[in-house]
Amino acid sequence: MDAIQTPLVYLKGVGPERARLLKTELNLHTFQDLLHFFPNRYIDRSRFYRINELPQTHTEIQIKGRITTLKLIPQKRGKRLVATFSDGSGQMELIWFRGYQWIRDQLKLNEDYVVFGKINWFKGVASIPHPELELEENFQQQLKISFYPIYPSTEKLLNKGVSQKVIQKMMVELLTTRSGHFSESLPQNLINQYKLISKNEALRQIHFPDHQQSLARAQMRLKFEEFFYLQLQLILKNTQRKQKIKGQLFKKVGPSFNAFFNKYLDFELTNAQKKVIKELRKDMGSGRQMNRLLQGDVGSGKTIVALLIMLIALDNNYQSCLVAPTEILAQQHYQSLAEQLQKMNCKVALLTGSTPKKERKRIDEELKSGELSILVGTHAVLEDQVTFKQLGLAIIDEQHRFGVAQRAKLWQKNEIPPHILVMTATPIPRTLAMSLYGDLDFSVIDELPPGRKKIKTLHRTDANRLKVFAFIKDQIAKGNQVYIVYPLIQESSKLDYKDLMDGFESLSRSFPKPNYQISIVHGQMKSEDKAFEMERFIQGKTQLMVATTVIEVGVNIPNATVMVIESAERFGLSQLHQLRGRVGRGSDQGYCILMTGSKLSQEAQIRMETLTKSNDGFEIAEVDLKLRGPGNLMGTQQSGILQLKIADLIKDQNLLKAARSEALKILKEDTHLQAAAHQCVKRTLYSLQFDSNIWNFIS
Ligand code: ADP
Ligand code: MG
């Protein structure tokens, strides 16, 4: 075992109790963990302030001076100890609310002290509550540190006496006793090429930087390293998968595909769709497992791609499943597939949580016998009881709503895993995709079917409501349909429900029967009721659909031209873009109206402006990523997939690109890392295996 893997309990100043706390609170187990536990900020203690030039903020400062008077002042409960502190330029107060008896006995009047702490301002007088205090003569003898690191910490650690000072001491101990002995983890040629500082120097400077520039260089070196190893692992995983994981072999494109393509497909595929189908065919004919992410903006026509490749599976005597995140979407997929395939010899079924028992039994049997070729459904498809005769292809629609663990479940259904295609309309910016899905292959439909008009997006407030209603009436008079969407109803949030119901009532008044019919769909309804209402809207029996975000994904109603989003400020950018994609699917101009309050936070303002300006899913995703951070975007925040220690996917994009290309280069030249120069890489990779949780979501 490398000494760097020594458990923290062996570090001077860390007993069993502290070691346990560090483990449970900060997930720090070994010397290596502690070394790579980086400060989130630094306090500049190279500077001494004068009292007459204190900043008017609540920052931490350091002053030299003397205590001139000491007073115990009674207050509501107990007393407080107040010291007047003077440095010749002015005076201020030092205050203690606890332990003041003992402190008063320790303090010496008219001696030189160095004081450190956070300033408070009250009626123009500065004070520091519970300052750090040191006689200047003692201070002079201490190790001089100019920038003090401040580490992420927890309440519990603080309560148990593991203060910043204690953590700093542990770092000093670790760095001084082992100074210069941390083995280099990057090959020398990269260090030279990118002018990086050594690992030893970087670790010292990241914890106790000499100055701003040395900190910057330490950060750069460690960020590069973090990206480099992240990429190496992803690339290795991908190569391994390609070499090792056998896939079902789809040898041919046969009669089902050809018949459908020639007889029943009633439009010309876009070039992007053709290109993607070619990529998928190649994967599925390779004998290795396909694991591919298909991105395409809303309305780009991913469903037909899914249908066509499921027919290829059928041509090779394999079954397929198409999994959707919501029941409504599953239903719609089922209906449209069943309709399109009705003249073909291809049996399709729908399986959701609300499929009746009897029907379910029939489906189970037909799946086992192989009679059923395509199963459409929700999560229910992934349940353990569902057994296929020979599942060859699993397609997952709108995966950003889909749990990582659920995807993995699909793999366990066969000895040889099915090909997997994940489809998403949430465009993933390239930088994020490289880090998060470096192990997947990518396909993109970057073209919309011809004749689509750009959706016009407008931002309006309550003051414009009457005009908005007039516009809606106008559209309905032209035979079009309208969505009005409210924030999601969650079980706990009564407020959302009230908003929706209030909205529904006021709409019913503005759009009275019999001229207008309104459908309503929300998350708290039974699924039969949802389906019934949805069906009325699809058939044009109702002109308005009042709904929560349950309609967000996938649903396709060409006649709907207007999407009104209420309390739009409460939605995320990508979600708004998705919702907007529900309209303008026919030949008529589509409109999206974002209704908000008149006072918006700056961030909400940016979201509204971005949407009114741009129709490009990728551009919107980039802004979203900047506003919300990657975890949110992918819905994987809790899983910790992207918890980078120091690098930042957005700010450090260039470094990421460089690290990725170097990782690719090394593995290309020396796949098994056998060269002497790459031994440090191999060793570091091994040591990373232990604490890496980025792999849980893969196979
Ligand atoms: P999404 O990618 O958002 O899932 P869909 O697959 O639902 O989009 O397709 C949206 C609409 O576009 C559907 O009505 C579909 O029939 C139609 N469509 C798909 N491809 C084409 C094409 N090449 N030409 C014309 N219409 C198309
Ligand atoms: Mg879709």
50 and 34 in a common domain: no
Strands 91-96 and 147-150, bridge-based pairing = unpaired
Are residues 581 and 298 in contact, defined by beta-carbon separation less than 8 angstroms?
A: yes
The pLDDT mean for the chain works out to: 85
pLDDT of residue 685: 85
Ligand 2 centroid vs 192 CA: distance in angstroms?
48
Classify residue 155 by burial, with Cβ atoms within 10 Å: 0-12, 13-18, 19+: exposed
Q: Which atom of ligand 1 is nearest to the CA of 585?
A: 11
Q: Band of the pLDDT at 325, cuts 50, 70, 90?
A: confident
Of all protein residues, whose CA lies closest to atom 15 belonging to ligand 1?
301
Are residues 594 and 457 in contact, defined by beta-carbon separation less than 8 angstroms?
A: yes
d(CA 609, CA 603): 10
Residue 51 resides in a domain: yes
Terminal C-alpha separation, the chain: 29
480 and 360 in a common domain: no
Query: What range defines the domain where residue 509 resides?
Result: 456-614
- Strand pairing partners for 397? 423
Residue 270 resides in a domain: yes
Ligand 2 centroid vs 686 CA: distance in angstroms?
41
- Strand pairing partners for 96? 81
pLDDT of residue 530: 82
Q: Indicate the helix (H) or strand (E) that contains 234.
A: helix 212-244
Question: Residue 303: nearest ligand to its CA?
Answer: 1
259 and 221 in a common domain: no
Q: Which atom of ligand 1 is nearest to the CA of 445?
A: 2
Are residues 578 and 595 in contact, defined by beta-carbon separation less than 8 angstroms?
A: no
Exposure b/e, 430-444, CB count within 10 A at least 16 = b: ebbebbbbbbbbebb
Question: What dihedral angle (degrees, nearest 10) is formed by the CA atoms of 613, 616, 619, 620?
Answer: 70
Nearest alpha-carbon partner for 564 in 540, 603, 593: 593
Nearest alpha-carbon partner for 658 in 434, 473, 471, 443: 434
The per-residue pLDDT for range 566-598, each reduced to its tens digit, is 999 988 888 888 889 888 877 789 999 999 999
53 and 12 in a common domain: no
> Best of 267, 340, 395, 557 to mutate for ligand 1, by most ligand atoms within 8 A of CB?
267
- Residue position matching structure tokens 């940016």: 606
Q: Which atom of ligand 1 is nearest to the CA of 298?
A: 3
> Best of 294, 304, 399 to mutate for ligand 1, by most ligand atoms within 8 A of CB?
304
230 and 327 in a common domain: no
Are residues 391 and 345 in contact, defined by beta-carbon separation less than 8 angstroms?
A: no
Of residues 261 and 399, which shows the higher confidence score?
261
- Residue position matching structure tokens 């070691």: 19
Collapsing DSSP states into helix, strand and coil, what is residue 43? strand
Of all protein residues, whose CA lies closest to atom 10 belonging to ligand 1?
299
Number of domains in the chain: 5
407 and 373 in a common domain: yes
d(CA 487, CA 548): 6
The per-residue pLDDT for range 369-393, each reduced to its tens digit, is 999 999 999 878 777 778 899 999 9
Residue 207 resides in a domain: yes
pLDDT of residue 321: 94
Of all protein residues, whose CA lies closest to atom 24 belonging to ligand 1?
449
598 and 563 in a common domain: yes
pLDDT of residue 436: 64
The per-residue pLDDT for range 645-684, each reduced to its tens digit, is 888 777 787 898 899 999 999 999 998 889 999 999 988 8
Residue 640: is its pLDDT beyond 50?
no
Of all protein residues, whose CA lies closest to atom 13 belonging to ligand 1?
301
Ligand 2 centroid vs 444 CA: distance in angstroms?
14
CB atoms within 10 A of CB 8: 20
Ligand 2 centroid vs 299 CA: distance in angstroms?
7
Residue 358: is its pLDDT beyond 50?
yes
Q: Which atom of ligand 1 is nearest to the CA of 305?
A: 6
512 and 566 in a common domain: yes
| pLDDT > 90 fraction of the chain, expressed in percent and rounded | 49
d(CA 679, CA 673): 7
d(CA 276, CA 442): 9
Residue 238: is its pLDDT beyond 80?
no
Q: Find the CATH number of the domain harbouring 386.
A: 3.40.50.300
609 and 505 in a common domain: yes
Of all protein residues, whose CA lies closest to atom 17 belonging to ligand 1?
301
Residue 644 resides in a domain: no
508 and 472 in a common domain: yes
Distances (CA, A) of 178 to 1, 575, 578: 16, 51, 54
| Range with the poorest average pLDDT among 106-115, 234-243, 286-295, 381-390 | 234-243
Ligand 2 centroid vs 667 CA: distance in angstroms?
37
Question: Residue 298: nearest ligand to its CA?
Answer: 1
3-state helix, strand, coil in the chain (%, to 5): 45, 20, 35
Where helices occur in 511-601 by DSSP H, the ranges are 527-538, 573-580
Q: Which atom of ligand 1 is nearest to the CA of 303?
A: 6
Q: Find the CATH number of the domain harbouring 26.
A: 1.10.150
d(CA 672, CA 683): 12
Q: Which atom of ligand 1 is nearest to the CA of 556?
A: 7
- Whole-prediction pTM value? 0.65
Averaged pLDDT, 343-360: 92
176 and 215 in a common domain: no
Ligand 1 centroid vs 301 CA: distance in angstroms?
3
Residue 695 resides in a domain: no
| Range with the poorest average pLDDT among 105-114, 301-310, 550-559 | 550-559
d(CA 214, CA 146): 12
Residue 433 resides in a domain: no
CB atoms within 10 A of CB 220: 19
Tell me the two tokens of residue 118.
Answer: 């956070």
d(CA 95, CA 357): 72
Q: Which atom of ligand 1 is nearest to the CA of 581?
A: 3
Residue 496 resides in a domain: yes
Of all protein residues, whose CA lies closest to atom 16 belonging to ligand 1?
301
How distant is the alpha carbon of residue 519 from its chain centre? 34
Where helices occur in 539-616 by DSSP H, the ranges are 573-580, 602-613
Nearest alpha-carbon partner for 131 in 147, 107, 110, 111: 107
The per-residue pLDDT for range 141-196, each reduced to its tens digit, is 776 778 889 998 888 888 888 888 899 999 999 998 876 678 899 999 999 999 99
Ligand 1 centroid vs 298 CA: distance in angstroms?
9
pLDDT of residue 544: 95
What secondary structure letter does DSSP report for 385?
Answer: T
Where helices occur in 250-326 by DSSP H, the ranges are 255-259, 271-284, 302-315
Ligand 2 centroid vs 574 CA: distance in angstroms?
15
Q: Find the CATH number of the domain harbouring 112.
A: 2.40.50.140
d(CA 385, CA 383): 6
The per-residue pLDDT for range 441-500, each reduced to its tens digit, is 889 998 888 877 789 999 999 899 999 999 999 999 999 999 999 886 554 456 667 778
Q: Band of the pLDDT at 430, cuts 50, 70, 90?
A: low
How distant is the alpha carbon of residue 150 from its chain centre? 26
- Ligand 1: which residues within 6 Å by Cβ? 267, 269-270, 273, 296, 298-304, 425, 449, 554, 556, 585
Ligand 2 centroid vs 582 CA: distance in angstroms?
10
d(CA 85, CA 113): 9
Residue 406: is its pLDDT beyond 70?
no
Ligand 2 centroid vs 543 CA: distance in angstroms?
23
473 and 592 in a common domain: yes
pLDDT of residue 471: 97
Residue 230 resides in a domain: yes
Question: Residue 266: nearest ligand to its CA?
Answer: 1
359: CB partners within 8 A, 6+ apart:
none
